[in-house]
């Protein structure tokens, strides 16, 4: 069954005429007009007839879950054949929708169901928030493969290696963020918080937005946003190559043939979020991350144990068919850019050694943004019990409890760590990640030759130390929101600010000297621009503050004579009196270890277009 769920302010329909020779009786349901409701447009497919009860159960649960999330009581079930092509027989479809109505009523929901087999006119006003539109596909096969929730066992693990059931754990002061993670993931509570996040206005300030001419979930980047993207990409490259091992940068395609067995098997791990297309009669997959390309390439390399550990790295455009209602700018996208590092290790001991290095680095990087992670460790129980000392070391870095999820069955990984910030609305948001992979080397035929001359499958660590480029920017803007909440001015990190110094002449008399200052700073690899407009000095200063410029330097008669300038540092109250050399030294010290690119826009504000 295909279902389109719309959170509506109002909905009404009216029966117009028969669509079938023998439609369902419509008495009492010829018309309907309701206020706020969850509208479930449903197409019943031929495959649903194989196991209708299972499909009804899964569909009802999906609708209930969305209704709970939105706090909506009234549900309208509306037959809508246009969502699918291979439709069930009218008799089977009508019966299945009647069962769906009954199942929802049994769960305590008031349900209105439009009659089956009629042409109807309808009017709908959608609320338009991020979760107001959501599509679902339910099939007997998917329902059978899904694991019961009870099989996933959650535990709180403390740094002293004590295990608690989540509902029994006593949260301590300072563990509010961890509590939010536990309540969402383990206790399945709907977290408080709503409305439009403030970070969205920050994104748009710098030119990050959705591209309306594309498929849903694709972003566009204006001039300053492109600069942010490129700087984060450069930094992700630098961080990924800083682990003390050889890292080989590779590049390849984003499109793979699903008829190739290892591609198909790996793709099946990601279920309904695969972005697929057809070309020349072939089923193609847009890659989920860099795995397909790197593994397809490295399987052809001749590798010795002397070459390991080694890394392979690509900033990979990656594609995930996220649900429409779950799309979120910079965070949940259909196209994203993953700084994907794979570390190939001789064995599990070596993999744990480098996983620990990666774990430490992930924490160091988020702390530079003034944020902290709370972590979810997805792990097999066998791996946890056999490697407790390794987990003790991981938690010594965390310095606080983590949430364990013991996963049933066998996966290609034995440990998958999700690092979450808690955003401005109190919601866990996964940014960085790593996995210890024991399955893909064999799946793709990647081997190395050990000391005895035998071919051995390496253990592979998957990692995005900063998260995707877009999610790292999400974390940057979340940090700015939290600064503003604490009464501080929001700002970008100095290394990431498109303009680092704004030079403001007191009058046009000092334009030439101001341009000399800009060019001097430019030669020092400091991004500076010039406000050469005719506005007053206070207005220009205010404009620099609104643009989040970290340093504002004023040039007037006194400065021209002394070459000591009045400098306003963002977030600092008193003005500083500084020479250009002192200012350059301060900035260089603060951006040490980060990449540099030149100013992405013209130096003179007067010649920039409004965008």
pLDDT tens per residue, range 202-220: 999 999 999 999 999 999 9
Q: How confident is the model at residue 149 (pLDDT cuts 50, 70, 90)?
A: very low
Task: Identify the pLDDT of residue 144.
Answer: 36
Question: Is pLDDT of 576 > 50?
Answer: yes
Residue with tokens 């499109």: 255
What CA–CA distances, in Å, run from 468 to 229, 234, 323, 463, 472? 10, 13, 19, 10, 6
> Is the four-CA dihedral 328, 329, 331, 334 of positive or negative sign?
positive
Mean pLDDT of 567-591: 95
Least confident of 22-36, 271-285, 348-362, 537-551: 271-285
Q: How confident is the model at residue 272 (pLDDT cuts 50, 70, 90)?
A: low
Q: How confident is the model at residue 480 (pLDDT cuts 50, 70, 90)?
A: very high
Q: 328 near 208, Cβ under 8 Å?
A: no
Residue 185's CB is within 10 A of a number of other CB atoms, namely 20
Least confident of 60-64, 300-304, 415-419, 455-459: 60-64
CATH number of 494-607: 3.40.50.800
Mean pLDDT of 171-184: 96
* Tens digit of each residue's pLDDT (9 = 90 or more) over 410-468: 778 999 999 999 999 899 999 999 999 999 999 999 999 999 999 999 999 999 999 99
What CA–CA distances, in Å, run from 561 to 1, 283, 486, 510, 528? 78, 71, 40, 11, 21
- Residue 305 backbone phi and psi in degrees, to 5: -60, -25
3-class secondary structure, 273: helix
Q: In this structure, which topology does domain 2-145 adopt according to CATH?
A: 3.50.80
Least confident of 43-57, 308-322, 537-551, 579-593: 43-57
3-class secondary structure, 21: coil
Residue 437's CB is within 10 A of a number of other CB atoms, namely 25
Q: How does the average pLDDT of the chain come out, rounded?
A: 93
Task: Identify the pLDDT of residue 277.
Answer: 86
Mean pLDDT of 159-169: 96
For 200, counting Cβ atoms within 10 Å of its Cβ (0-12 exposed, 13-18 middle, 19+ buried), the class is middle
Task: Identify the pLDDT of residue 96.
Answer: 93
Mean pLDDT of 170-178: 96
Question: Is pLDDT of 189 > 90?
Answer: no
Question: Which comes out higher in pLDDT, residue 409 or 12?
Answer: 12
For 228, counting Cβ atoms within 10 Å of its Cβ (0-12 exposed, 13-18 middle, 19+ buried), the class is buried
Question: Is pLDDT of 308 > 80?
Answer: yes
The backbone region for 334, taken as left when phi is positive above 0, alpha when psi lies in -120 to 50, beta otherwise, is alpha
Q: How confident is the model at residue 269 (pLDDT cuts 50, 70, 90)?
A: confident
Question: Is pLDDT of 76 > 60?
Answer: yes
Residue 548's CB is within 10 A of a number of other CB atoms, namely 18
Nearest to 378 by CA among 412, 343, 414, 348: 414
- DSSP letter for each residue of 460-502: EEEEESS--HHHHHHHHHHHHHHHHHTTS-----GGG-S-SEE
Count Cα atoms within 13 angstroms, Cβ side, for 39: 26
Q: Please, what CATH class does the domain formed by 149-252+288-477 belong to?
A: alpha beta
Structure-token pair, residue 476: 């940057």
Task: Identify the pLDDT of residue 150.
Answer: 41
Task: Identify the pLDDT of residue 48.
Answer: 87
Task: Identify the pLDDT of residue 589.
Answer: 97
> What is the percent of the chain with per-residue pLDDT over 90, rounded to a whole number?
79
* Tens digit of each residue's pLDDT (9 = 90 or more) over 374-396: 999 999 999 999 999 999 999 99
Question: Is pLDDT of 53 > 70?
Answer: yes
Question: Is pLDDT of 313 > 70?
Answer: yes
Mean pLDDT of 73-95: 91
Question: Is pLDDT of 227 > 80?
Answer: yes
* Domain parsing of the chain, residue ranges: 2-145, 149-252+288-477, 494-607
d(C-alpha 459, C-alpha 461), whole Å: 7
Q: How confident is the model at residue 145 (pLDDT cuts 50, 70, 90)?
A: very low
Task: Identify the pLDDT of residue 130.
Answer: 67
Nearest to 450 by CA among 297, 308, 246: 308
Q: What is the pTM of this model?
A: 0.76
Mean pLDDT of 4-19: 94
Mean pLDDT of 146-152: 53
First-last CA distance in the chain: 44
Question: Which comes out higher in pLDDT, residue 151 or 10?
Answer: 10
Task: Identify the pLDDT of residue 148.
Answer: 43
């Amino acid at each position: 069954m295909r279902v389109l769920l719309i959170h509506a302010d109002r909905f009404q329909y009216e029966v117009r005429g028969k669509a079938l020779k023998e439609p369902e009786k419509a008495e009492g349901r010829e018309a309907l007009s309701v206020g706020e409701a969850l509208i479930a447009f449903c197409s019943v497919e031929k495959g649903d007839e194989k196991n209708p009860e299972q499909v009804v159960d899964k569909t009802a649960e999906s609708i209930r879950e969305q209704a709970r999330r939105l706090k909506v009581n009234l549900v309208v079930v509306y037959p809508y054949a246009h969502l699918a092509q291979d439709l069930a027989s009218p008799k089977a479809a009508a019966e299945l929708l009647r069962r769906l109505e009954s199942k929802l009523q049994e769960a305590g929901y008031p349900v209105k169901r439009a009659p089956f087999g009629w042409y109807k006119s309808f009017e709908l006003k959608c609320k338009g928030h991020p979760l107001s539109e959501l599509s679902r596909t339910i099939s007997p096969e998917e329902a059978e493969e899904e694991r019961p929730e009870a099989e996933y066992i959650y535990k709180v693990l403390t740094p002293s290696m004590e295990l608690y059931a989540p509902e029994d754990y006593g949260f301590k002061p300072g563990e509010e963020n961890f509590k939010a993670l536990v309540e969402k993931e383990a206790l399945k509570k709907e977290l408080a918080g709503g409305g439009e996040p403030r970070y969205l206005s920050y994104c748009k300030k710098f030119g990050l937005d959705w591209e309306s001419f594309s498929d849903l979930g694709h972003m566009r980047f204006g001039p300053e946003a492109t600069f942010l993207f490129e700087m984060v990409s450069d930094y992700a490259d630098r961080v990924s190559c800083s682990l003390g091992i050889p890292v080989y940068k590779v590049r390849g395609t984003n499109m793979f043939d699903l008829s190739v067995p290892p591609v198909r098997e790996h793709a099946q791990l990601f279920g309904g979020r695969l972005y697929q297309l057809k070309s020349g009669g072939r089923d193609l997959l847009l890659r989920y991350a860099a795995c397909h390309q790197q593994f397809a390439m490295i399987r052809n390399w001749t590798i010795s144990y002397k070459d390991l550990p080694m890394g392979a790295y690509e900033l990979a455009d990656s594609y995930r068919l996220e649900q429409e209602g779950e799309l979120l700018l910079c965070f949940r996208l259909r196209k994203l850019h993953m700084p994907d590092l794979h570390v190939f290790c001789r064995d599990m001991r070596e993999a744990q050694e480098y996983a620990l290095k990666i774990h430490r680095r992930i924490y160091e990087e988020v702390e530079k943004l003034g944020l902290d992670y709370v972590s979810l460790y997805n792990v097999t129980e066998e791996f946890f019990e056999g490697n407790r000392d390794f987990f003790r070391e991981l938690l010594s870095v965390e310095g606080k409890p983590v949430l364990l999820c013991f996963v049933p069955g066998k996966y290609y990984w034995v440990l998958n760590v999700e690092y979450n910030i808690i955003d401005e609305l109190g919601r866990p948001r996964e940014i960085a990640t790593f996995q210890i992979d024991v399955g893909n080397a064999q799946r793709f035929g990647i081997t190395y030759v050990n000391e005895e001359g035998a071919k051995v499958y390496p253990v592979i660590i998957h990692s995005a130390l900063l998260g995707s480029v877009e999610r790292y920017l999400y974390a940057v803007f979340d940090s700015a929101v939290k600064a503003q909440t604490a009464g501080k001015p929001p700002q970008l990190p100095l290394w990431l600010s498109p303009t680092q110094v704004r030079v403001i002449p007191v009058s046009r008399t000092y334009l030439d000297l101001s341009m000399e200052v800009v060019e001097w700073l430019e030669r020092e690899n400091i991004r500076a621009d010039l406000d050469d407009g005719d506005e007053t000095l206070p207005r220009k200063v205010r404009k620099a503050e609104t643009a989040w410029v970290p340093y504002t330097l004023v040039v007037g008669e006194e400065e021209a004579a002394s070459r000591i300038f009045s400098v306003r540092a963002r977030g600092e109250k008193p003005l500083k009196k500084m020479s250009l050399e002192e200012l350059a030294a301060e900035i260089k010290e603060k951006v040490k270890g980060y990449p540099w690119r030149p100013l992405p826009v013209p130096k003179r504000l007067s010649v920039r277009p409004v965008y």
